[in-house]
Amino acid sequence: MIPYGKQEITEDDIAAVVATLKSDFLTQGPKIKEFEDAFASYIGCKYAVAVANGTAALHLCALALDVQQGDKIITSPITFAASANCVRYCGGDVVFADIDPNTFLLNIKAVEQLLVAAPKGTYKGIIPVDFGGRAVDLEVFRKLADQHGVWIIEDACHAPGGFFIDSKGSKQQCGNGNFADLAIFSFHPVKHIAAGEGGMITTNDKVLYEKLLMLRTHGITRSPEQFKNSIAFAAGEPSATSYPRWYMEMQELGFNYRLTDFQAALGASQLQRAHAMLEKRLQIAKRYDEAFSNERNIKCQLLELGRNPSGHAYHLYVIHVQDRLGLYEHLTTKGIIPQIHYIPCHLMPYYRQLGWKEGDLPKAEAYYKTCLSLPMYPALADNEQQLVIDTIVEYVGK
């Protein structure tokens, strides 16, 4: 079986996990901070907060940015449901804006139309998604967001190591916090860095960082400088002059969204190979590009994107074919299991019952009809990729 995505686990990864299992801490130990620091340095941001998964990361971001009942937040329909659901967890309203048919990313013009048409303050935030691994140009989104007083959460689950080039010609790494208020990543096994389950929030904002640390663990703080109750109360002793060491306070309604230390150890070990694994993804993409470049019936992602392929982190390699269902069935009979990313989120029954319907976002709906994600992961062997290519070309023909 050749799936569309899969983890790569080395002996070093296994040794890192085993060493942590033999240590004093299975959770709340030193591996978390080690992983956070290494990840922050890889991404190029100031702060990183490790959490249980990417969905928890999104939820905590929405809480940290104080999403309230009725707040309107804009996101893309071509994403995993969690990008939108985090708004609903807080009682907010998701407003999907259509995609740009050239990049398949949230179309900034569609976002602008929404923002301009509503009284200021109607919208609270935007959640752009680095879909498939292609970096959103967050510089232009930031400009728009500032004009309308809204925040940005970058969903960078598909794009650790991805980047865009800003207007000054500088490389802006996904999740580096230079433009978005917060960014999130996932360490699900199909993602660039696997930890079983796991997620990370990155930011350059110290206030949000400290809030996230608290929300990740029940809303509890152990930092005396943040305590609200008196020393006398905390110590149970009117003459006490400092907070006792056992003392902690629950100040917010938080969650247990912690990552375990053995997951962090696996994530940190994988992170050491992140560059090499990304290179492998780029090689696989290039090979697909070359193989499909003369195939009239296959629209290939990079060739379609054309202009600035550099900076793409290739979580996914998406092709478009007219007989998508036929090709999908054919591939599965050969043991190749492609995937569809994504069924437009606004047409999921949950969002339909909130009022969304077919025809609302024509570009996203058209995209869905022909998209197919091919096997794309560092451990994909050359002969396996060749089998995928041959099977597709043979079926789709010239």
Ligand X SMILES: Cc1ncc(COP(=O)(O)O)c(C=O)c1O
Q: Which of residues 166-195 bind ligand X (CB under 6 A)?
A: 186, 188
Closer residue to ligand X, CB minimum distance, 188 or 363: 188
Phi, psi angle pair for 249, to nearest 5°:
-130, 140
Minimal distance, residue 199 CB to ligand X, in Å: 5
Using the rule CB under 6 A, give the single segment among 154-162, 299-307, 317-325, 384-392 that binds ligand X.
Answer: 154-162
Ranked by CB distance to ligand X, the top (closest) residue is: 54
Closer residue to ligand X, CB minimum distance, 217 or 263: 263
Site string for ligand X, 88-127 (x = CB under 6 A): ----------------------------------------
Question: Does 129 help bind ligand X (rule: CB under 6 A)?
Answer: yes
- Residue from 155, 181, 249, 261 in contact with ligand X (CB under 6 A): 155
Minimal distance, residue 21 CB to ligand X, in Å: 22
Helix spans in 65-205 (H): 82-89, 108-117, 138-148
Note whether 300 and 319 are within 8 A (CB): yes
Minimal distance, residue 197 CB to ligand X, in Å: 6
Site string for ligand X, 29-58 (x = CB under 6 A): ------------------------xxx---
Minimal distance, residue 129 CB to ligand X, in Å: 5
Minimal distance, residue 117 CB to ligand X, in Å: 27
Q: Residue 138's closest CA among 185, 196, 98, 178?
A: 178
Closer residue to ligand X, CB minimum distance, 105 or 157: 157
Minimal distance, residue 44 CB to ligand X, in Å: 20
Those residues whose C-beta lies under 8 Å from the C-beta of residue 272, and which sit 6 or more positions away, are 12
Q: Rounded CA gap, 182 and 202, in Å?
A: 6
Residues in the chain: 398
Q: What is the dihedral of CA 108, 304, 309, 374, to 10 degrees?
A: 110
Closer residue to ligand X, CB minimum distance, 7 or 55: 55
Tell me the C-alpha to C-alpha distance, in Å, between residue 200 and each of 84, 99, 247.
17, 26, 28
Closer residue to ligand X, CB minimum distance, 154 or 249: 154
Q: Which of residues 60-89 bind ligand X (CB under 6 A)?
A: 79-80, 82-83
Minimal distance, residue 294 CB to ligand X, in Å: 32
Give the count of residues interacting with ligand X (CB under 6 A). Answer: 14
- Residue from 73, 110, 127, 157 in contact with ligand X (CB under 6 A): 157
Closer residue to ligand X, CB minimum distance, 129 or 302: 129
Tell me the C-alpha to C-alpha distance, in Å, between residue 266 and each of 22, 91, 269.
14, 34, 5
Q: 272: which DSSP letter?
A: T
Q: How far is CA 287 from the centre of its chain?
A: 25
Minimal distance, residue 85 CB to ligand X, in Å: 9
Q: Rounded CA gap, 77 and 333, in Å?
A: 30
Q: Residue 198's closest CA among 153, 259, 157?
A: 259
Instruction: Extract the tokens encoding 229.
Output: 């109750």
Q: Rounded CA gap, 342 and 345, in Å?
A: 8
Contact residues toward ligand X (CB under 6 A) are 53-55, 79-80, 82-83, 129, 155, 157-158, 186, 188, 199
